[in-house]
Amino acid sequence: MERPTSKPIGHHYLELDTPTMVINTDLLKSNIKNAQSSLNGTSCKLIPNVGTHGTAEIARYQTNSDHDLPVFVDTFQQAQSFVNHGFKNIIIESPPVGVGKVESLHRLVNTAHITVSLSSLAHLNFLKYLSMENLSVLLRIPNKSDSVGIGTHQELIELVKLLVEHFKIYWKGLITVSKGSDGLEESFKGILSAEALLQSHSFTSNELLINTSNQPLSKVQSNLPPEITGLISGNYPFEVNGSVPTCSVVSTVMSTPEPGRAYIDCGQKGISIDRGVPFVVNYENAVIEKMSAEHGYLVFDAVEMNLKIGDKILLRPANYSDTFNLYDFVNLIKNDRLESVIETAARGAFK
Amino acid sequence: MQTYRPNLGATIDLIETPSLLIDLESMESNFSVIAETYSNTTCKMRQHAKNIKCPDILWRQIEIGGTLNGVCTAKISEAEVMVEGGIRDILVTSEIVGEDKQKRLAYLAKRADVKVCIDNKANLNALSFVAQEIGSEIGVLIEVDTSMGRAGIRTPEQGVELAKLAESLASVKFLGVMSHQTVDGFADKETRFIEGKRYIDKCLEVKTAIEDHGIEVAIVSSGETFSYDVAPQIEGVTEVEGGTYALMSGPTKYMEEFSLAGKVLTTVIDMTESEIVIDAGLRCLGGPLGSTPTIEGQDNLGFSEMQDSYSVLTVEGKNIFEIGQTMLICTSQQDILVNRWDNFIGVRDGVVEVVWDIPARGCHH
């Protein structure tokens, strides 16, 4: 577990023990508000993917502390973490495969309304012995950007029939995942054509959800068809508007072995490079050359700028979800001062 | 923090997935290679704790042999965990910058034999000042950059200057020199020996230059897993900083005397005609800049996509896999992966024998 030297509330964020993750609270709230208001006047609701950050505090900002509003997570352990923090309406992406996950689901439905996403009869069979109260099902539709989902139209119809006529589990509707802005149109087409097929067989979905968690919300919502009832998004609280980042990792220069080169105390254990190297926020002429497990290699034009040992480097992660997953705590910052330290309680909830 | 712990004695099919397993037989075999290699050498292994992050496992290597009864850590917070775990000889292999961390180091030096690397005068002066204030003594080793372009002095002359300064300052004790290096790709034994010796010789050049000025160099800490058998053959090297050999990973398979001991157990949760989906994704496996793991014993499976909590694998040939089937992932890297987990599940002959917490997980500081 992380062991920073604790700093009192009100401390300047650049004096926190590094590397550490900081979030500008004002920008966070503003991003959340803008995202929510952008869907005003539509029949589509914004469903936060709270698995992105794993913190109950940010999830409360995203739901205006209404624990009955739906939140989306990836795994059963993440769901349990949010249920433990009072959330009562949770959509889980992962299907309940295996005894452990079915048992988790059984515990979850005793205290919250749980929706799971399925794509095969094998998944449905895992639900045979569960209490049906508090459990809903979404069926996952594949599209050109995402191959995971129900294989054929025939299988889709059969699954819906089984759900409605035999299992008597509440079938909520359809879900699809868009994995890139290029595939957005195709994912809309995929889910709408599946719904049209179901309607031709006298079945109607109550929910048509699209998960665009790793895409900028602004790109998604401008093209949203009116039939879509829910937009699942994960990154919007942290989107960048202007030069100040909403979410970054603070690190410290620990060696300047030669001109134009600095060695910093943040490597891959402090910021993920699984989906790209981080961006240097506070020195526009400096870039991350590479990162080892423990350290970062910063290079810059020594004529234009200089760095000394102890200088602070602000890094914006290439992917927020990957980096939240590395920290047990993150710092909320207001007016450059530490406002609170929040726990990423769902960190490491892989199951 | 997640606290899933399977029952001891449970068979592997009862373990929830994904889980990080250690094949105990393989790990112990790796530890025995080290014990044997260093059984009659002056040079000893100083295992790197940044890979394993668990004192109890590091103790196993100490008990099996080949070590100097101490470990390295990358960060001061890791060093604290090791001292709390009963290990009393610690080398922190990164420069420690900032008063808070330097104070932690100085206080820890009151409780254990703590050494740290340095590469500049300002840092050395600061350490001396803080240690004096606290009334402790910190051992210092000069980091030498031998190949990687990271921290460390660049010339023997810089080393001499720093050693002289260290000798003149209160509350720091100059102990020696250290370096770190890697080889790219799959290196055969000849390459390992040529490259390993070339890097270590650079570190020894600094040692000689310092000794030429009448200053004793007690420790030369150099070499790691790829040169574990090179370093003890080079006169002057006193210890090797190996870490990867304990669990190993895909890119280090060329070290055939060591076995892959760390694996992730995963379950097939979905499938299409030509793909399977497993319940292990980027969050638990890591995949720096697109590197991908492999599946044990399944050459017909290849990772085509890694998402947050699942991965999609392409099946070459007929898809005979089933939803619910479990498999073992051979990881593409190691310490970055371990840093994401809260415990190891130690398995022998398919049965859970031990569950170890990973107390230095997340010790970034």
CATH code of the domain containing A302: 2.40.37.20
Instruction: Please check whether residues B134 and B29 belong to one and the same domain.
Output: yes
> Residue A66: inside a domain, yes or no?
yes
Which one of B2, B54, B105 would you mutate to disrupt binding with A, by most A Cβ within 10 Å of its Cβ?
B2
pLDDT computed for residue B184 by the predictor: 78
Residues whose CB is less than 8 angstroms from the CB of residue B51 and which lie 6 or more positions away in sequence, other chains included:
B243, B244, B246, B247, B334, B335, B338
**In what order do the strands lie in the sheet containing A89-92?**
A45-48, A230-233, A207-211, A170-177, A135-141, A113-118, A89-92, A71-73
Q: Judge: A148–B312 Cβ closer than 8 Å, yes or no.
A: yes
Reduce the secondary structure of A174-199 to three states and give it as a string. Answer: EEEECCCHHHHHHHHHHHHHHHHHHH
Q: Judge: B323–A326 Cβ closer than 8 Å, yes or no.
A: no
Instruction: Please check whether residues A92 and A121 belong to one and the same domain.
Output: yes
Residue range of the domain that includes B337: 12-20+257-357
Instruction: Please check whether residues B190 and B50 belong to one and the same domain.
Output: yes
Q: CA gyration radius for chain A?
A: 22
> Residue A351: inside a domain, yes or no?
no
Instruction: Please check whether residues A203 and A254 belong to one and the same domain.
Output: no
Side chain identity at residue B22, one-letter code:
I
- Crossing angle of helices B24-37/B55-64, nearest 10°? 50
Which of the listed residues B245, B275, B292 is the one where a domain comes to its end? Answer: B245
> Residue B250: inside a domain, yes or no?
no
Instruction: Please check whether residues A17 and A100 belong to one and the same domain.
Output: no
CATH code of the domain containing B293: 2.40.37.20
pLDDT for B129 beyond 70: yes
Q: Which two tokens stand for residue A13?
A: 């964020």
Dihedral through CA B32, CA B36, CA B42, CA B45, nearest 10? -20
> Residue B223: inside a domain, yes or no?
yes
Instruction: Please check whether residues B234 and B282 belong to one and the same domain.
Output: no
The complex scores an ipTM of 0.96
In B, minimum Cα distance to A269 occurs at B336
| Secondary structure element (H or E) that encloses residue B134, with its range | helix B121-134
Which one of B50, B267, B364, B365 would you mutate to disrupt binding with A, by most A Cβ within 10 Å of its Cβ?
B364
Which of the listed residues B210, B245, B280 is the one where a domain comes to its end? Answer: B245
> Residue B2: inside a domain, yes or no?
no
Question: pLDDT per residue over A273-307, tens digit each?
Answer: 999 999 999 999 999 999 999 999 999 999 888 99
Q: Are A3 and B365 in contact (CB under 8 A)?
A: yes
Q: Which two tokens stand for residue B250?
A: 């895909």
Question: pLDDT per residue over B200-230, tens digit each?
Answer: 999 999 999 999 999 999 999 999 999 999 9
Burial class (CB in 10 A: 0-12, 13-18, 19+), A68: exposed
Instruction: Please check whether residues B37 and B155 belong to one and the same domain.
Output: yes
DSSP letter string, A293-327: SS-EEEEE-TTT----TT-EEEEE-S-HHHHHTT-
Closest in A94, A101, A265 to B309, CB measured: A94
Which of the listed residues A233, A265, A292 is the one where a domain comes to its end? Answer: A233
pLDDT computed for residue A131 by the predictor: 66
Instruction: Please check whether residues B225 and B325 belong to one and the same domain.
Output: no
> Residue A113: inside a domain, yes or no?
yes
Instruction: Please check whether residues A173 and A228 belong to one and the same domain.
Output: yes
Q: Judge: B98–A310 Cβ closer than 8 Å, yes or no.
A: yes
What is the C-alpha separation between B91 and B75, in angstroms, rounded? 10
Instruction: Please check whether residues A215 and A253 belong to one and the same domain.
Output: no
Instruction: Please check whether residues B55 and B195 belong to one and the same domain.
Output: yes
> Residue B162: inside a domain, yes or no?
yes
Residues whose CB is less than 8 angstroms from the CB of residue B77 and which lie 6 or more positions away in sequence, other chains included:
A2, A3, A4, B104, B360, B363, B364, B365
Residues 249 through 288 of chain A touching chain B, CB cutoff 8 Å: 252-258, 261, 263, 265-266, 268-270, 272-277
> Residue B362: inside a domain, yes or no?
no
Instruction: Please check whether residues A209 and A284 belong to one and the same domain.
Output: no
Residue range of the domain that includes A327: 13-23+240-343
Collapsing DSSP to helix, strand or coil, B351 comes out as strand
> Residue B206: inside a domain, yes or no?
yes
Instruction: Please check whether residues B61 and B129 belong to one and the same domain.
Output: yes
> Residue A109: inside a domain, yes or no?
yes
Q: Judge: A97–B309 Cβ closer than 8 Å, yes or no.
A: no
Which of the listed residues A233, A259, A289 is the one where a domain comes to its end? Answer: A233
Question: pLDDT per residue over B107-121, tens digit each?
Answer: 999 999 999 999 999
Q: Are A341 and A8 in contact (CB under 8 A)?
A: no
Q: Which two tokens stand for residue B270?
A: 């979905």
pLDDT computed for residue A214 by the predictor: 73
pLDDT profile of chain A (351 residues), mean per 10: 92 97 97 93 94 98 96 98 98 95 93 96 88 89 92 95 87 93 84 97 97 81 89 93 91 95 96 95 94 95 92 96 96 98 97 97
Q: Which two tokens stand for residue A218?
A: 């602004």
CATH code of the domain containing A128: 3.20.20.10
> Residue A122: inside a domain, yes or no?
yes
What is the C-alpha separation between A126 and B322, in angstroms, rounded? 14
Instruction: Please check whether residues B162 and B191 belong to one and the same domain.
Output: yes
> Residue B364: inside a domain, yes or no?
no
Give yes or no for A322 touching B (CB within 8 A): yes
> Residue A29: inside a domain, yes or no?
no
pLDDT for B2 beyond 90: no
Instruction: Please check whether residues A247 and A165 belong to one and the same domain.
Output: no
Instruction: Please check whether residues A323 and A206 belong to one and the same domain.
Output: no
Give yes or no for A295 touching B (CB within 8 A): yes
The pLDDT-based confidence of B289 (bands split at 50, 70, 90) is confident
Instruction: Please check whether residues A262 and A326 belong to one and the same domain.
Output: yes
Residues 13 through 42 of chain A touching chain B, CB cutoff 8 Å: 17-20
Say which residue, A257 or B182, is predicted with more confidence: A257
- Crossing angle of helices B99-111/B121-134, nearest 10°? 60
**Number of A–B residue contacts, CB under 8 Å:** 199
Which of the listed residues B184, B212, B245 is the one where a domain comes to its end? Answer: B245
Question: pLDDT per residue over A46-65, tens digit each?
Answer: 999 999 999 999 999 999 99
Instruction: Please check whether residues B180 and B218 belong to one and the same domain.
Output: yes
Q: Judge: B74–A293 Cβ closer than 8 Å, yes or no.
A: yes
Give how many domains chain A has, as a whole number: 2
Instruction: Please check whether residues A132 and A211 belong to one and the same domain.
Output: yes
Instruction: Please check whether residues B149 and B90 belong to one and the same domain.
Output: yes
Instruction: Please check whether residues B128 and B272 belong to one and the same domain.
Output: no
Residues whose CB is less than 8 angstroms from the CB of residue B120 and which lie 6 or more positions away in sequence, other chains included:
A255, A256, A309, B95, B162
Half-sphere exposure of A197 (CA within 13 A, CB side): 17
Give yes or no for A327 touching B (CB within 8 A): yes
Instruction: Please check whether residues A113 and A254 belong to one and the same domain.
Output: no
CATH code of the domain containing B141: 3.20.20.10
Give yes or no for A2 touching B (CB within 8 A): yes
C-alpha to C-alpha distances, A177 to A149, A196, B270, B307, nearest whole angstrom: 9, 18, 15, 11
Which of the listed residues A206, A233, A260 is the one where a domain comes to its end? Answer: A233
Give how many domains chain B has, as a whole number: 2
Instruction: Please check whether residues B88 and B220 belong to one and the same domain.
Output: yes
Closest in B16, B122, B270 to A98, CB measured: B16
Side chain identity at residue B242, one-letter code:
G
